[in-house]
Amino acid sequence: MNADRIFDALASGPRRQLLRELSRAERTTSELAAQFTMSAPAISRHLSVLENAGLVASRRDGQRVLYGLVRDTLMEALSGFAAGLVTGEPVAPKRQRDAI
């Protein structure tokens, strides 16, 4: 997990809106585009950023590709960041610190 990549992804209002929607249920790109005032290609670009940050995962369901929130990654990044601020400990998650 790369904290910078995660927080860069979260810096975008539209991406945060997509995460809120994906926290309710898995959705396809076209389902998300129908709910937001964005084109399917714009939604797809945002989903790509979120997926590269590890916040969203995709899976095939027949010919459809469904996207869903990866709750563990989000919770680990946010709680690790908050804990680091409060305790003064390194902000990197335990797995990332162990690899260093």
Task: Read off the pLDDT of residues 44-89 as tens digits, 9 standing for 90 and up.
Answer: 999 999 999 999 999 999 999 999 999 988 888 888 777 777 777 6
Q: What is the tens place of the pLDDT at every residue in 6-42? A: 889 999 999 999 999 999 999 999 999 999 989 999 9
Query: Is 57 inside any structural domain?
Result: yes
Query: Is 80 inside any structural domain?
Result: no
What is the tally of structural domains in the chain? 1
pLDDT given for residue 91 in this prediction:
59
Long-range contacts of 76-82 (CB under 8 A, 24+ apart): 76/1, 77/1, 77/3, 77/6, 77/7, 80/3, 81/3, 81/7
Query: Is 52 inside any structural domain?
Result: yes
CATH number of the structural domain spanning residue 15: 1.10.10.10
Domain containing 35 equals: 3-70
